[in-house]
Amino acid sequence: MSEAIKEEDFNQEPPQESHEFKGETKKSGVMRSRVVTLALMFSVFLVALLLVIWFGKTKLSDWRAEREANQSAKQATASLSANQRRGRDFDVSDFFARSEPEQPATPAPKQLPDNFYQPGPATHVPLAGGTAGQPGHAPANVPVLPPMMLSGENNNRPATVQDQAHMMSRKEMPSKTEQASAAELGDRSLVITRGSYIPCILQTQLFSNVPGQSGCVIPDDIYSDDGSRLLIARGSTVVGQYGQTLQHGDSRIAVVWERIKTTDGFVIDVDSGAADGVGTMGVSGFVDNHWSERLGAALLLSLIDDAVDIAIARQRGSGGTIYGNSTARSGKNVSQKVLNATINIKPTLSVNRGARLMIYVSKDLWFDDVYGG
């Protein structure tokens, strides 16, 4: 009896508990991988949503800055047009041509034959040998003029640069004239000549992202060309504008000073550029290349892509179902788009208040109308 029971116990099949435990462990591992994948997908979606919101805000701010820049450019163009209407770069011949009434058309003169002789206007020139009114030499005190001076075309030419400036201000001659000969400067006690430097202390901070107006204060007394007369007292103010957008590699911004207002209440248009303390044109300052904005978002998305790739590699190694391939491709596409949108952010230059600049005078500044008496 006992031997029969032992034989039945020996022939009984072993329990299947170990196989069932292994199956449950495998299922729990697959579920855990799915949960991790879903968590990563949700994280990628959340980051992408935040990037879309940030990108929209950036585009909105860029659009506002561009609109303000266009408005400033239109104001600068209108100001330049007004200055030109006030008399700068003004051609008097065009003014008279517009103001003269239209004349009725006259018939064209008849064509004369080629062999027809027509004498020119007579010019009386003292001849060598004799006195005035008789043939012979001219008196010693009578200068002999060259032929080009006998026609009287240059009788109205200004004698000095100062007279020329007066004629230009009264619109008696075109402002664009060519000077090929030397001329006397005029009263040097009433002029600051072209090429002079006027020191200036910046009153407003310059920020190159948005074009706009600026101002500075002259800290020293400015004297005339001969040093005998005070023309611009210390404390006089200067206004100007800047509108240049920096490109990659730039470290200076252009500033144009437009007008000086003296402490005596006089104003004069200078239209001259700004230079630094050693005379280099343009204004330098701190340049922000925006490296964090240009590369930070792309690096963050790259880290997320690497995390997704690691999760997919673990799924392949465990032999389970692979999820997240489309998520990885979408994440890489988003990373590339964000990098393309942020890599071209322009650098920004800022100049603090109190910076010492120089005004390079680009034309003669005459003060004879206010100090000439």
Q: What pLDDT sits at residue 332?
A: 67
The whole-number mean pLDDT for each consecutive block of 10 residues of the chain, a chain of 373 residues, reads 50 52 64 78 79 75 74 68 52 45 55 52 47 47 47 57 68 58 85 93 88 92 92 94 79 91 92 88 86 74 73 67 58 70 81 92 91 72
Q: What pLDDT sits at residue 106?
A: 58
> H helices within the chain, ranges in order?
2-11, 17-86, 92-99, 161-169, 291-318, 325-342, 368-371
pTM summary value: 0.47
Q: Determine the Cα angle at 200 with ends 264 and 222, to 5°.
A: 50
Residue in the block written with tokens 């310059």: 206
**Euclidean distance between CA atoms 224 and 190, whole angstroms:** 6
SS3 state at 54: helix
Long-range contacts of residues 39-45, Cβ cutoff 8 Å, at least 24 apart: 40/304, 40/307, 40/308, 40/311, 40/324, 40/327, 41/324, 41/327, 43/304, 44/304, 44/308, 44/327, 44/330, 44/331
Instruction: Tell me yes or no: is domain 189-288+350-371 CATH 2.40.128.260.
Output: yes
At 57, give phi and psi (nearest 5°).
-65, -40
SS3 state at 274: strand
Sign of CA dihedral 74, 76, 79, 81: negative
Q: What pLDDT sits at residue 40?
A: 79
Q: What pLDDT sits at residue 248?
A: 79
For 272-290, b/e burial (b = at least 16 CB within 10 A) is bbbbeeeeeebbebebbee
Q: What pLDDT sits at residue 192?
A: 94
Domain locations in the chain? 22-88+291-343, 189-288+350-371
SS3 state at 113: coil
**Euclidean distance between CA atoms 124 and 130, whole angstroms:** 14
